[in-house]
A and B are shown apart, each in its own frame.
Chain A
């Protein structure tokens, strides 16, 4: 099935099928180099001092660290993986609590504190995915693989600047959506893209697709059912007519 030409500004660069992984990798590498060579991307000295103070029990220093990294953890790690604002907020809170519990075990790394925080946040998200019965894009196995990769690179990937990792996390989530959309009927993918992702008005999407609003409702319902099948590994033949 041909991929739908999704040109949503700002959320997905439409890589040609089959070359997506390679192109994404090289884009990521370029971003890493840019971020590492950028002066703004190296607040390591200040952060290290804050980490030392936080480990010595300075609550204000810990607050500064979490204030700096928390919103990024929420937006790029927790929210895309948990798919719900309330659960992502709970996960962020749980992440902070675990940080407090384990701060004395953390040893400073040249890549900064963010990769360590990111692994903790992903572990919290994994626990929540395992314990919950909510509709999420990521399955526990997916997240476990991400955590394994993150832990392997933890402490030795000096080039893993915060912004780069955050961008990578966003790209992983978007690629997962794109991959699922690629596996369903292009008409269904188009309906989901316009109505669900871009939140265009129902009547407008129906008009663009050449159907009545009531017919579009049925079309969208079928689209979501097809996407649900495509997201599950056991439904590999989730192609709709």
Chain B
């Protein structure tokens, strides 16, 4: 896609996310002939980056994670926030399930991964239900239950984790940018001590640091090719985007002052979303030692992820 088509896609996405049908974006993509929302970084930024920026919700992640198993109404059960173990675990002849579903409405089938396999189940087969938690706007359901070991297809969990990390990294970059935009707008319009808050060097430098982190995350998302088997690449973009987004929301929470602490100001929704996204498939803080351990295990054999 050329730059104009990407811009149009981002515009369409923003319009769709403003509506209240979380399945519509995937339907629009099917019409446009786009089957994978994360393979092309520019497409992913236009779709998932925009979703993060407007704090939207859609079944884009289900489309990316289900791959060939995708169909209308299919939802992939995600690991509990902060973890990346498969939500299904085999216990003798049965499968214990504990995970979350981001878009439970209109779901007809849940896909439960066990690490080596995926098991399709009817939503009614699991109990649990809506949880507000840290980010009520997410509208997620916690799903818990025990399934008989039924028809299962072989699906490697690490591919789901890799794709999920890449997709959510794009969304985090968008959420972080929104927080930064809100902060820049606020400090530019509010005056204290006879000048805009933005004139203070301490304020300016904090915003610049947030910007630099987001630029780094976007550059990495753009430059590191999507490779479902490449664990390090997905870890890298997710950790960079998570750190950058959290740094941006922390800066925004400080610099938007009391206004940013109100329910009326849009910042809190971005803050909630950023922390929740960072925790899906592992928080940046937990991924850093994972990366270190992976590199130490490889020794000196790691070539740079980014080609010239």
Partners in one complex: no
Q: Which residues of A contact B (CB under 8 A)?
A: none
Using CB atoms and an 8 Å cutoff, list the residues of chain B in contact with chain A.
none
